[in-house]
Amino acid sequence: MPVVSGYNSSDCPIRYFQNPSSRSLLFESRSEEKKKKIRMAASDRTVLQFGPSSAATSNVTAKVHPLVIFNICDCYVRRPDQAERVIGTLLGSVLPDGTVDIRNSYVVPHNEFSDQVALDIEYHHTMLKSHLKVNPQEVIVGWFSTGLGVTGGSALIHEFYCREVPNPVHLTVDTGFRNGEGTVKAYVSVNLSLGDRQLAAQFQEIPLDLRMIEAERVGCMYMLVILIHI
């Protein structure tokens, strides 16, 4: 199993492996001795989630088109039975005023375990190439996941997207309606460190603009009804 690349996370060396059979990107430890630390990094990793209004990210805003939300909800409805959530790539551009304009998306097959996260990077890159042929002006601007808030697994996936694009936006869509509605939020991440040691991954919520015309609003309400009755 050839090594693709590597990085350090929370004092714990991690390697990316390309699995020839599953075409997945695996986050694994270099030795059995490190296995427990990796398991904590994947499932119990310290993740700090903050609401809006941070000086560090006050100049970062995002705008998401309704088509993106429709696509994410549709992917969630069609997800495999064993999958608790779906994740994927966000495409768009950065506007002159610094706003991240999210216009498109596609799902990326993945698996989450207690000690590792696997992403199908071949599928990710194939889909990216296909989208660029149709919309060459769009680039990767971040990634999405269904669910409410962020988790330790989200922090690991975010690190992968940080290798794809600087300062990616993480979009979450609450398809479980835990608060009685489909909450949509956007975050950026900043690593909190003490010297050379990384203490936690801080996800800061940023302002998100989601506007719909009447036809889009009707379509969204119809999708919400379907999700509620799943």
Rounded Cα gap, residues 118 and 111, in angstroms: 5
Burial zone of 218 (CB within 10 Å; 0-12 exposed, 13-18 middle, 19+ buried): exposed
Average pLDDT (2-10) is 33
Structure confidence by residue, pLDDT tens digits, 70-118: 899 888 888 888 888 899 999 999 999 989 999 999 999 998 876 678 8
The domains of the chain, with CATH numbers, are 47-228 (3.40.140.10)
Structure confidence by residue, pLDDT tens digits, 56-66: 455 789 999 98
